[in-house]
Structure 1
Amino acid sequence: MNVSFPVLMGVYMTSVVTLSCPSCLVTNRVARERLEAAPKCGRCGQALFQGLPMALDQAGFDRVLANTEIPLVVDFWAQWCGPCKMMAPVFERAAAELEPGCRLVKVDTEAAPALAQRYQIRSIPTLMLFSGGREIARQSGAMDFSTLIRWVRTHL
């Protein structure tokens, strides 16, 4: 039997995506067609999509960025920032709307200053959209819900 390289036992290799568990950060492999079927983590058993943004420190961010094949929307924020506080419920609501098409992540720039420096965050909130581990879009300033959803979908 002659099997082409991208096919292994009838499953296309591109039909499986990797993503980090929001609870334990372990990397999971999930069939793309099962992303909307409430998949659970193979290690801790928690839902891989919880409809909430993941709050990450630098190590967690680096791990999730490297091990998540769906797009990431990252909110760089700080506790003292008024516009960040106003945007927090909007970002949370957006997570419920956009998952499992993408993963939403929050990074506190005060707790992870090296990340803020690496990505040259000059004002907050700053939203960045990553795909394939690379930045594909950036927007500074608070957004309302419909503007945020439109911004993400426009760039994907």
Structure 2
Amino acid sequence: MATVQKIQPCLWFDTQAQEAAEYYTSIFKNSSIIRITYYPNVGQDVHGKPAGSVLTVEFELEGQNFMALNGGPMFNFTAAISLSVNCDTQEEIDYYWDKLTTGGDPAAQQCGWLKDKYGLSWQVAPVIMTELLNDPDPQKRARVMEAYMPMQKFDLATILKAYNSE
């Protein structure tokens, strides 16, 4: 029997669970579709989905398991929760930003946050941000914040320049 992750985010879609899971697994290198379940012949009076249509898709992105659910149109994603992508380099930031913003909401792109084409919020950020924002020097912290607040996609060189300037 497979090991089950104790806490597994469930992403609610109308009908795009499999499409979204395939999209996300195409972006992240260490990822896969784990299992797909289908609506049975019973319960249509409750769920309204045709028998044999996709119910859930379990997938993994970089070691993190997710479930995508075709639950219907009654719930949508909000920016109140997002998935963070921790990046070591500007090349990584550029790669994930470009992939995840394709077809997304350009108005929802600020401070490293974006909304993808399904409305799911992500933050594509350099790993070093936590260290920079926890520096004991309040002037360095302020310069970092001043540098990145107007950014949409993080520019690591600009952030580091602000941190290191006097």
TM-score (norm 1): 0.24
Q: Could you say which structure has the greater relative contact order, defined with CA pairs below 8 angstroms and 6 or more residues apart?
A: 1
- Structure 2 length-normalised TM: 0.23
Which structure is larger by alpha-carbon Rg, 1 or 2?
2
